[in-house]
């Protein structure tokens, strides 16, 4: 029997594997095209092709926090049947057991945390978040570090629809 905890653990394991792959690919990825505030990248090796749309926050609080490489991603792994996996890299260790809140307009989504990244556990919620992103103008990501510091990052959604179209064309 699959319980919510089992589903979460399976999602966390898969997400962790995907993050490791994105992290190792990101530095070797090729910029495909920039769509206003979002860019599409791809990486292909002998085993598989990986693509992702990415953006960095336009505003982060608290200012001057010691964080490294904050990005919001929508990734595609065609060989594995993944077309639009949402993840966010917060640049610090997220407080264990906490959730990361993503808000687009009046709609809120809870992501589960793994190390310095967060993911959507439910594929239906992931699709709803992506649809909200297409309709929205900004997106806010709120989280708490393992030291208890709260952060908020605001991402522009200008160009996300075109970037997602570019992502699906680059990694069909």
How far is the C-alpha of 153 from the C-alpha of 72, rounded, in Å? 10
| Cross-strand pairs, 151 | 143
Sheet holding 82-89, edge to edge: 30-35, 38-44, 49-55, 71-77, 82-89, 117-119, 107-114, 99-104, 138-144, 150-156, 59-61
pLDDT at residue 70, as a whole number: 97
Per-residue pLDDT of 37-80, as tens digits, reads 999 999 998 789 999 999 999 999 999 888 989 999 999 999 99
pLDDT of residue 96: 93
Domains and CATH numbers, the chain: 4-170 (2.60.40.1880)
pLDDT of residue 47: 84
Q: Which residues of the chain have pLDDT under 70?
A: 1-27
Q: What is the pLDDT of residue 26?
A: 56
Phi, psi of 50 (to 5 degrees): -125, 135
Nearest to 21 by CA among 117, 98, 109, 97: 117
Kindly state the tokens that stand for 167.
Answer: 């992502």
- In the prediction, which pLDDT does 20 show? 42
Q: Is pTM beyond 0.75 here?
A: yes
DSSP string over 127-161: HHHHHHHHH-SEEEEEEEBTTS-EEEEEEE-TTHH
* Rounded-to-integer distance, Cα 88 and Cα 91, Å: 9
């Amino acid at each position: 029997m699959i319980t919510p905890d089992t589903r979460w653990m399976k999602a966390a394991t898969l997400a962790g594997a995907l993050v490791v792959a994105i992290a190792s690919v990101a530095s070797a990825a090729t910029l495909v095209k920039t769509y206003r505030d979002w860019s599409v990248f791809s990486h292909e090796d002998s085993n598989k092709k990986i693509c992702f749309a990415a953006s960095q926050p336009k505003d982060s609080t608290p200012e001057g926090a010691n964080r490294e490489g904050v990005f919001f991603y929508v990734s595609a792994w065609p060989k594995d049947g993944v077309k639009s996996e949402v993840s966010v890299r917060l640049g610090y260790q997220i407080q264990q057991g906490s959730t990361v809140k993503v808000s687009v307009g009046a709609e809120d989504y809870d992501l589960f945390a793994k190390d310095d990244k967060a993911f959507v556990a439910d594929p239906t919620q992931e699709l709803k978040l992506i649809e909200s992103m297409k309709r929205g103008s900004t997106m806010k990501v709120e989280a708490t570090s393992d030291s208890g510091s709260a952060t908020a990052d605001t991402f522009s959604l200008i160009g996300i629809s075109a970037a997602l179209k570019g992502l699906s064309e680059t990694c069909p």
